[in-house]
Structure 1
Amino acid sequence: MTREPPLMRAGTRRDPSRRTDGNVVARTAELLGKPLLPWQRYVADVAGELDDATGTYRYDTIVLTTPRQCGKSTLIDTEDTRNAQLGRDRKIYYLAQTGKDAEQHFKEYVKQLMDSRLAPLALKPRLSNGGMEQRFANGSFIRPLAVTKVAGHGVQMDKFTLDEAFSLTEEAGYMILDGLGPTMNTRLRFTGVQPQMWITSTEGTAASTFFNTLLDGLRAGDVPERTAWFDFGLPDDEDPEDLKAVARWHPAAGLLWDLRQLADFRQQFGDNKAGWARAFANRRDVGIAERIISADLWNATTCWPIAPGDLAGRPVVFGAAVDVDATHTAISAGILEHDGTVNVQLLKVLDGTGAAPNEITRLCATYDAPLCMDSRGPNGDLCDRLKALADINGDPVVRFVDMQAGDFLSVGQAFVSGLENGTVRHAADTELDASAANSARAWSGDAWRISRRGSTGKTSPLESAMLAAWGVSHRPEPEGPLQIF
């Protein structure tokens, strides 16, 4: 029987030509005491499609994003229970941001299981902190884990759920997937059943670089053959303050709660419109929770722009930075004043990187100034092109400030410290102001850099200004007298 798909923003459609074990998942839910809602049954039917060529699951990856209050946890627990009965000694894991979150979810599941008609299949659970486990009579088990206990450890798994994936950075998320992928292939050969990884979450914030990147790729049509995905929530052209629209697109409206209760939910959020939209419309909160540079500090450290003709006698360093996906290139100047302070000002923001080499070489030649830029990430291609430029004598056209691999992580902190102690100021500029307001941090140990994917606008203006200021303090010895043309 082919079921009508629920109202989704996007996602994988059911292939009626394939068999599915969604009916077994539905029966498992009934035995657990929580029959599946229509949206849950649809996801179970698609995720449970079987490949006739192999006789096992068609999909190895399930990506699910839903609003709050829709029954996502019930579906996860039901799928885990069903999977544990597919054979002997199966290994099922539930991964959450912290061990506390995972264990709280697990305790609620164990209570539900022990109160259900499936209790005779379950052995006595282990509930000690750090060692929780629900084992079944067939030797299979379900365990909760914090994501930090899994990454890079090659844990053998037949199914795992990476829940609340919005909490992960891109680096952490892919470290987990890279570590678990090979072990899942091993289990397929050993058990004959296709392992599955489920990645589930409500949409996150600008800092949710792992889940944001994953969803953006799927929405753009980059869907691997063995991935099924489901995107529930309010479309972009609907108003999250329109409660009837929210209810129409919410998969559990009218089933777990009604419109009156939805109004109560809205009232609880008060003035936090972004939080409400994220929770019940499943809208990404693209705001920056914490600016790298506070608005008060930024506004208190402005200076007047300096005209090119006023640069005589003052050392200059240019900073260049490229936005993620090479959409823009920003160029800033760092100017050493007579009193030892550094003024920075944004000079240009160019589309792409095509015109950047000519403009950068013109500026460096005109002011006999070096260039400071990162040589990795989105900057790598432009940096390589600039370093390859040579004059008729074979000498480099652009002199670079020497920047070692670890130096880039000190650039931002040095800039903020300079603003705080009065040794760095910035010329007022609307594009630089916007970049400072919308740039987020990405931490690496105790150091940080601008998060290009975790920010909400162009990061290149602020990054170029930071590089220009750092370059002034680390500029190479001049090869001759400064010339101004």
Structure 2
Amino acid sequence: MLDPTKPLRLWQRSGEPADGECAPRWMTPRNPRRETRGPELVRISRLLGVEPLPWQRDLFDVAYEIDPQTGGLWYGEIVVLVPRQSGKTTSTLSINTHRASVWPHAQQIVYIAQDGIRTIKKWEEQVLQLQASPFRQLIKPNRIYELEPNRTNGRQHLDFVTGSQWWPDVPSEDAGHGSTNDLGFIDEYWSQVDDRVEKALRPTMITVDDSQLWYLSTVGESKIRSAPLWAKMQAGRNRVESKLESHSLYVEYSAPPDADPMDRLTWWHTMPALGYTQSIRKITDELEQDTSKNHSLFKRSFLNIWPDESTDDWPIPRDAVSACTDPHSTIPEGTSLVWCVDIAPDRSAASIAVAAVRADSIVHLEIVDHGPGTDWVIDGDDRPSSDQLHLHGIKQLTGKWGGRTWFDWQTVGSLAPQFAANGIDAQPLPASEIRVAAPGLYDAILNKQVALLGQSELADALSVAQRRPIGDGWGWARGKSLKEITPLMAVTLAHRALAKDMPDWGYDPLSGIW
């Protein structure tokens, strides 16, 4: 048997530039106050014939942190997004083997991939590697992996002498049913068009205190087709940025949407397996063979960039938005201001935008505040314990700078009494104005008549926003968009309200519509 204390290979990243450190773009940090079983996974991987890559070591250390209260695992949900061929399969095999062999009681493990055929194929690959390792001694005699369904229960699976079982299953609303599961894997989660698999697996694990459900994937073909993955990404990023303690772990290796796919430094910063199991020559070949627009296939596979983030599929062309971006734009003192408050229909977030006309007749549009919930919209949020940036609130903003506030009655009307009670000059924007607000902003951006600051909140909203018809016009579709778009709604309505509140400023967005 191999000595688990000695690595099979000491990884030394070859060809890496001095400033090419590869780090996750988002990752739940290691909590040093909690012990971890991560080193056990390293030893398991070595016995399987694979030396873990540095990123896998980091993942194992965090994912296997121990809850000091229960002695079980701290994290119950683990979402991991890495580029292709970065070691997802070897990570899965190490985790499955560890669970089946060293846990104090028998484990039920279920593995799911894109579809039934791919699930069996990937499962077979892992089983063959398991059989070629010292762990073959733990596979139950006479019932080693069968290519045909097991006669006992009509399903393929692997039995261990520890009593643990490892099953492949098809992605369906019945996935994992029929037993209590301790460990679940949904591989290539981008292929799931809805959350039926997750809803099927979660109830089977609810009675297991240290159960874990893993989601492993690269990004999908589009945020609409892979809506469940996009939702997981947004939730994971928000948790990491807010630094809120959670039992959900999130890891993402990706490049920014505007990263240059031709720049090798981008590769080194994004691809955790480059220089270890991947070579510059092979990655260069992949790039040269990609004939897709803007190298979207290469970006998706190796930089983890969504194709609809790397093209002009925004509802307002990205090039036009970039042309209007002026990070140094300011509002001259004494300029009349128009404010807009917008709230997501589910009350999950709110935004406050301001619009004003600069001396050069360009409209300055800015997201002043964007935050979760609605309790801060009137008076702001300056609680010392808050991890978030200070949120001003419309009362403070208008009290200091003046100006009228506008809002959409359908979503913000419930705050009208509070506006009045706090002396805020606030009016609902008529439906006739809302109907043309989005086309008006679209036209103004195409004609370079606005100045945007390049704020990420607005870019994120534009990247997922969808349209809906409104009579002869159109507007932003809140329900069809993949996340709340309050920053975009606030800016759109503020721009339109400016034309209504200041009819003499010399530009009417309606002029470009009809």
TM-score bracket, normalised by the shorter chain, equals 0.5 to 0.7
TM-score using structure 1 length: 0.59
| Residue 111 of structure 1, aligned match among 114, 125, 128 | 128
Kindly state the Cα deviation for residue 92 of structure 1 after the two structures are TM-superposed: 0.7
The Cα shift of 1:261 comes to: 1.4
For 1:198-232, what per-residue CA distance to the aligned partner results, in whole angstroms no more than 9, with x for missing partners? 12221233223433433343343264422232222
C-alpha spacing 1:269/1:81, structure 2 compared with 1 (3 Å):
same
List aligned pairs for 1:32-431, cutoff 5 A.
32-85=48-101, 86-122=103-139, 123-128=143-148, 131-150=155-174, 153=177, 155-169=179-193, 172-173=194-195, 176-188=197-209, 194-204=210-220, 205-207=222-224, 208=227, 209-221=230-242, 223-235=244-256, 238-270=259-291, 271-287=293-309, 325=349, 381=411, 431=442
Task: State how far apart, in whole Å, the 1-side matches of 2:254 and 2:310 are.
Answer: 22
How far apart are 1:242 and its partner, in Å? 0.6
- Quote the Cα distance in structure 1 between the aligned partners of 2:259 and 2:66: 36
How far the C-alpha of 1:95 sits from its partner, in A, is 2.1
Cα deviation, 1:65-113, whole Å, max 9, x if unaligned, reads 1111211111011101111121443101112232222222111111111
What is the CA–CA distance in structure 2 between the aligned matches of 1:166 and 1:229, rounded to whole Å? 15
- Cα distance 1:440–1:267, how it changes in 2: closer, same or farther (>3 A)? farther
The one-letter code matched in structure 2 to 1:142 is W
| 1:451 maps to 2:471 | no
Deviations along 1:366-391, one digit per CA (max 9) or x if unpaired, are xxxxxxxxxxxxx6x458789xxxxx
Shift of 1:238: 4.5
- Secondary structure (helix, strand or coil) at the match of 1:451 reads coil
Change (3 A) 1:243 1:20: same
The alpha-carbon distance between structure 1 residues 152 and 81, as it changes in their structure 2 partners (threshold 3 A), is closer
Partner SS, residue 169 of structure 2? strand
Structure-1 separation of matches of 2:215 and 2:404? 40
Deviation sequence 1:266-295 (CA, Å, 0-9, x none): 1122245222222211223335999899x9
| Offset from partner CA, 1:378-421 (integer Å, 9 cap, x none) | x6x458789xxxxxxxxxxx9xxxxxxxxxxxxxxxxxxxxxxx
Partner of 1:22: 38
What is the percentage of aligned positions where both structures have the same residue? 26
The answer as to whether partners of 1:154 and 1:180 remain within 8 angstroms in 2 is no
Contact persistence 1:243–1:262 (CA under 8 A): no
Amino acid at match of 2:162: N
Total equivalences in the alignment: 362
For structure 1, list consecutive stretches of 5 or more residues without a partner in the other structure: 189-193, 296-320, 330-348, 362-378, 387-397, 399-426, 443-447, 465-485
Relative distance call for 1:436 and 1:84 in structure 2 (3 A) is closer
| Structure 2 gap segments, 5+ residues each | 6-20, 318-341, 354-364, 371-376, 378-393, 395-402, 417-427, 429-437, 447-460, 469-476, 494-514
Paired with 1:121 and 1:230, the residues of 2 have a C-alpha distance of 31
Q: Using the TM superposition, give the Cα deviation of residue 120 of structure 1 relative to its aligned residue in structure 2, in angstroms.
A: 1.7
**What letter corresponds to residue 284 of structure 1 in structure 2?**
W
1:375 match = none
Indicate conservation of the 8 Å contact 2:110/2:176, yes or no.
no
The code of the aligned residue for 2:283 comes to L
2:47 is matched by which residue type in structure 1?
A: L
Distance of 1:199 and 1:360 partners within structure 2:
38
Structure 1 residue 454: Cα displacement: 6.8
How high is the TM-score relative to the length of structure 2?
A: 0.56
SS in 1 for 2:65: coil
Kept in 1, the 8 Å contact 2:27–2:250? The answer is yes
Q: Let me know the Cα RMSD of the aligned residues.
A: 5.0
CA pair 26-436 structure 1, distance change in 2 beyond 3 A: closer
Q: CA deviation at 1:430?
A: 6.5
Q: Do the aligned residues in 1 keep the contact of 2:78 with 2:213 (CA within 8 Å)? A: yes
